[in-house]
Structure 1
């Protein structure tokens, strides 16, 4: 795993994909937040350590540009906090070794795409 990409993905999942949507911490689209909270959003007190545009870039990269087998690993690893590692591996239908190899490949792909955006 690439440590700084791992940290960014943890923060991305925490900011945008936590189930506690009415606290203002994320959880999906702004429209979904407004519907869930009946139009009242309270800005969270914790500050994001990932810049807003980086979170948006990561969201786009994960959802649109990762290969399907890498997408599943990233979503399961970072967004599914309720499952044990063994359950995540079973869900992804691969061995533990393959799970971590794909996670590393996803980190490399995300890092490459983020570097490409900064260079453009």
Structure 2
């Protein structure tokens, strides 16, 4: 795995897929729109010490959902957005061995890094 990409993906998952804001209407889950509605548009980014800019989170979201091959996107989503499952459950969902799982995760890191560097160039 690429350490910097791993950190960015962890923060991306926290920012966009695991937001859990409790308001007088209850929990909003991971939906950013629901979170904005619940806090009446006054969402302060970086309350978790975010090191990834909002633009980078949006870029990563687009890369994962639109550009990554489906088998790589599935591994990324399982690894970073599914904290509730055990590794064995993630492997079964991705239909691959542990070795293949981590190879795909590394391949996804390289793909994402390439896309982010291509955007900057």
Q: TM-score, normalised by structure 1?
A: 0.84
Q: Note the aligned Cα RMSD (angstroms).
A: 2.3
Change (3 A) 1:6 1:38: closer
The residue aligned with 1:116 is 118
Where in structure 2 are the equivalents of 1:31-70 lying within 5 Å?
32-35=34-37, 37=38, 39=40, 43=44, 45-70=47-72
Paired residues, what number? 116
CA contact (8 A) 2:20 2:29 kept: yes
- Aligned equivalents of 1:64 and 1:21: distance in 2? 27
Stretches of 4+ aligned residues off by more than 4 angstroms: 38-42
The residue aligned with 1:9 is 9
Per the TM alignment, residue 28 of structure 1 is displaced from its structure 2 partner at its CA by: 2.8
Gaps of 5+ in 2: none
Change (3 A) 1:12 1:84: same
Q: TM-score, normalised by structure 2?
A: 0.84
